[in-house]
Amino acid sequence: MPELPEVETIVRGLRSLIRGYTIENLIIRAESLVAYPPVEEFQEVLKGKTIEDIDRRGKYILLKLSGGKTLVVHLRMTGRLLVLAREVAYDKHTHIIFQLNKGLDLRFHDVRKFGRVYLVADGDYRPAGGLQNLGPEPLAPEFTLGDFSKALKGKKANIKSLLLNQSFIAGLGNIYTDEALFAAAISPERSADSLKEDEVEALYDSIRLVLQKGIAAGGTSFSDYRDARGEKGNFQEELQVYQQGGQECPRCGSIITKKKIAGRGTHYCPNCQK
């Protein structure tokens, strides 16, 4: 599933490729992906709108349109948002085609069809799933160590499940949570409120660092993730623990374990993550 660095990479690509373009027509081949409003209204309102800017909040892509509307895209598991020339053939997994001017298409491609699009009034995210309940952006300057520390107080849940909770902190998924906990040398099974001051600081720094590195590498591609140009990311080559079960820990040489924690396959070093 695309996480913050993958979505940020897509957003940056979209900004350079389709900012200022106008949606001339839509082809909707799978109506189930249009979550709000009803398909006819979705189609009608979008026609003629100009894409003024593209932004990100958590794992959501926000296309700011003329007329005070925002097109929200959530890629979920296998969604891709691709910019292609109209003459490029599309396959059966291409479900929505936004035909732009100058012969360009913005295409929503999704093998598993869990992705969703929403068309809302600017700032009114109520119809858009979990978007309105997102926690702070981990890379935003206003997200401080003090805020993070305060938010952890009294939380009995294990730290892994808390970091995955989008209303606690936005944008982290299984990959970057495992990598951040490894970088901070903290066990994913620790209760959140048991972290000492220096551990909280290490985790805060690690979260920001792994996300920044993930963005710098253009995201992590195993099978599905592609950026707006259809290119893979490279962060899979820099992963320390995620998908490294059975390998030697790069820090201490012990064997990395994979275990189900918070309902997710979690990778960690049982020796140096305390």
Contact residues toward Zn ion (CB under 5 A) are: 249, 251-252, 254, 269, 271-272
237 is catalytic: no
264 is catalytic: yes
Q: Report yes or no: 173 and 164 within 8 Å, Cβ to Cβ.
A: yes
Q: Report yes or no: 78 and 114 within 8 Å, Cβ to Cβ.
A: yes
Q: How far is the CB of 199 from Zn ion (least distance, A)?
A: 16
Residue labelled with tokens 């001017």: 101
Cβ proximity to Zn ion: between 121 and 252 the closer is: 252
Q: How far is the CB of 244 from Zn ion (least distance, A)?
A: 11
Nearest CA-CA partner of 82 in 236, 225, 258, 261: 225
Q: How buried is residue 20: exposed, middle or buried, by Cβ count under 10 Å (0-12/13-18/19+)?
A: exposed
Q: How far is the CB of 248 from Zn ion (least distance, A)?
A: 8
Cβ proximity to Zn ion: between 75 and 256 the closer is: 256
Specify the DSSP element, H or E, that contains 114.
none
d(CA 45, CA 70): 11
CB atoms within 10 A of CB 136: 17
Cβ proximity to Zn ion: between 136 and 270 the closer is: 270
Cβ proximity to Zn ion: between 149 and 271 the closer is: 271
Q: How far is the CB of 181 from Zn ion (least distance, A)?
A: 12
251 is catalytic: no
**Among the options 15, 76, 208, 264, which is catalytic?**
264
Cβ proximity to Zn ion: between 14 and 180 the closer is: 180
E strands in 203-268: 257-261, 264-268
> What token pair was written down for 189?
């099974």
d(CA 263, CA 44): 41
**Among the options 49, 56, 59, 226, which is catalytic?**
59
Distances (CA, A) of 106 to 10, 14, 182, 220: 12, 9, 37, 22
Amino acid sitting at position 249: C
Q: How far is the CB of 274 from Zn ion (least distance, A)?
A: 10
- What residues act catalytically? 2-3, 59, 264
